[in-house]
Structure 1
């Protein structure tokens, strides 16, 4: 998403925050209605273009959104989409992408009034590790040839015992398949959750489980390095042999024995 669209998303997020705050634990229902709008936009390129066309007046685009959505979703969602139609977007697909993030944020607001964002983040991280370890499951959840209800049922069996908010977010991810990578969308949800808690999320993999003292020390180091509070999601991968692999966003610090051996092999091979 380019700068223009990012600025429009930021504006929409700030304007919609009071609505989500008022919805409280019912914010998840708001999110579901936003997702319904996303699905409508995904299915109609002409509608996306009509709502983002820079040659049309802002009022005309807002009126179109109000006319099409009025009565089908709650008024505050209509107002949200109409307001976003008034903004400028770098690409017509950026509008549904932005709405997808806002729907996700609504689900996260509901989590704040339920299990808490940390619980949701941890459950999503563990689910992501399961997908990383099980290729067949990862492929099945991303298989568009399978009915959406089959993919959702498979994910729900894996998530048995997880919070309703986590299940709702994963259900949306695997049913809509708006991105080519399920794990990529899960990572984005984690980023949005971290933003709400004003923290950076670091995914850490080690050969053996880290002790609480080690986790606390690593959290302190990363928090000082990034200048903000960092939440560490820790996982185990015995194939590492030793060391750590730390990922924060797109930045990866690989200090595993395996990576050092591979580097040595490349150097020897010339």
Structure 2
């Protein structure tokens, strides 16, 4: 049935927030990712847990048996609840568990340092995305099937400064288990989940030259003021960009030719 998976994922997220978020940790997140990866790798298990011809209780029983003693009790219970839900396709259950893993990372960050810590995780994810998308060689290295996961994670640690443990964990997951997506795109999707929790939007900003942290923060404040809502910046550097900047928030795009509307934006970028 169309829409069943979306409704099931939303219901599962609500259960997590109500019953499990208060005690969530990075271990919770890692184990939820691990269960999602297990489903990706094990077709018979994936089909067993999503087959609509099976009774919900039977699907829950399979999940309970397979995960007994292998993950945190809370993770096992979430997987059991998820297995009892209805999913439109085989992949949807793993997608929902991945979504829960990101929510668990957000909850762990918030427990550690409040909403500022969650914002720092978003910034880590978008920093990783920006660095990778700006370097074709790095993109190729992170998608090279011959390279080990450890080698890829080591490369990331050398080229991207990540400031939060949750950001590091989510980036590692995107690199090690991209689940058919490009690592940078998956990290950006994780950032979108966290931004939605904070009721923020992500502004995709392309600039002609790199910005230091001070200019980045000033640009973020200026754009947030222009759009009347708190924005997180997904920065990309492209020396060929017309007017020195392009901003996209949702479907709206602003480029250098309409800077009259945002007259202080140029000063934001060039101010020392």
TM-score by length of 2: 0.83
Deviations 1:106-127 (A, max 9, x none): 1122122335111111222222
Q: Distance in 2 between matches of 1:91 and 1:110?
A: 30
**Long gaps (5+) in structure 2:** 258-272
Pair 1:219 & 2:217 matched: no
Asked if structure 2 preserves the Cα contact closer than 8 Å seen for 1:141 and 1:174, the reply is: yes
Structure 1 residues 242 and 234, CA gap change in structure 2 (3 angstroms): farther
- Deviation per residue, 1:18-56 (Å, 9 max, x gap): 3443215xx111111111211211111111111011111
How is 1:149-188 mapped onto 2 (pairs within 5 angstroms)? Answer: 149-160=150-161, 162-188=163-189
**RCO comparison, higher one (Cα < 8 Å, 6+):** 2
Asked if structure 1 preserves the Cα contact closer than 8 Å seen for 2:50 and 2:90, the reply is: yes
Measured against aligned partners, the alpha-carbon deviations of 1:142-168 in whole angstroms (never above 9, x if no partner) come to: 122211111111112223452222111
* Cα contact 2:28–2:104 (8 A) shared by 1: yes
For the Cα contact (< 8 Å) 1:179–1:185, is it kept in 2?
no
RMSD: 2.2
- Structure 1 residue 211, shift from structure 2 partner: 8.2
The residue that corresponds to 1:267 in the other structure is none
The equivalent residue for 2:106 is: 108
Q: Does the CA contact (< 8 Å) of 2:4 and 2:86 recur in 1?
A: yes
Aligned counterpart, 1:268: none
1:54 corresponds to 2:52: yes
2:131 aligned partner: 130
**How far apart are the structure 1 equivalents of 2:161 and 2:155?**
10
Runs of 4+ in 1 over 4 A off after TM superposition: 208-215
Name the CA shift for 1:253/1:34 in 2 (closer, same or farther; >3 Å). same
Q: Distance in 2 between matches of 1:171 and 1:191?
A: 17
**2:205 corresponds to which residue?**
204
